[in-house]
Amino acid sequence: MGRMIALALSLFAFAATAAATASAPPQDENWLQTSISGDRFEIAGGKIALARANTPAVRNLGRRLIRDHSKSLHSAVQLAHELGVGVPPAATPSQQWQLNRLKNMPRSWFDVQYASLEIKDHEQDIEETGFEAREGELWQVRAEAKKDLPVLNMHLRMSKSVLTQAESARSS
């Protein structure tokens, strides 16, 4: 009887350890890591917009992106930890290149370039997040993607509106 209990406890400990170190399926892991890097990119870009924007509309967009992507980042990092997925510490190298480009471009170009970048970025994010929401393997990751989609769509609409305003301000 004692051996049976010891064997059962050993199997339980092994199963618990395996579950704790298990990682998400590759597609879900990739989406989570991409989402986290993207959130870090949006937060950094929003901070640049607060410092360099010429118009209130662009500053408001930057502020909104900081707020929403900070919330998304917190949620995605928490889920990644729960699933044993590595958390990227920063935006990707190509995103960092884009941020440096924004920091160093002539200020007169900033508003139009920033809004244009946000449109392209959110179009890509919506495509990737929509795919994950439909095709992700883990329900928790699909739910995270489904929660993000309406916010990403709102950001895309805002960015398009801000681009129109920035182009008008630049041409006047």
Any idea where the domains of the chain sit in the sequence? Answer: 23-171
Distance of CA 24 to the CA centre of its chain: 17
Q: What is the CATH topology of the domain spanning 23-171?
A: Ferritin (1.20.1260)
Which segment of 110-114, 144-148, 167-171 scores lowest on mean pLDDT? 167-171
* pTM above threshold 0.75: yes
In which band, very low, low, confident or very high, does the pLDDT at 147 lie, cut at 50, 70 and 90?
very high
- 78-124, pLDDT tens digit by residue? 999 999 999 999 999 999 999 999 999 999 999 999 999 999 999 99
In which band, very low, low, confident or very high, does the pLDDT at 170 lie, cut at 50, 70 and 90?
confident
What's the mean pLDDT when you consider all of the chain? 90
Per DSSP, the three-state class of 22 is coil
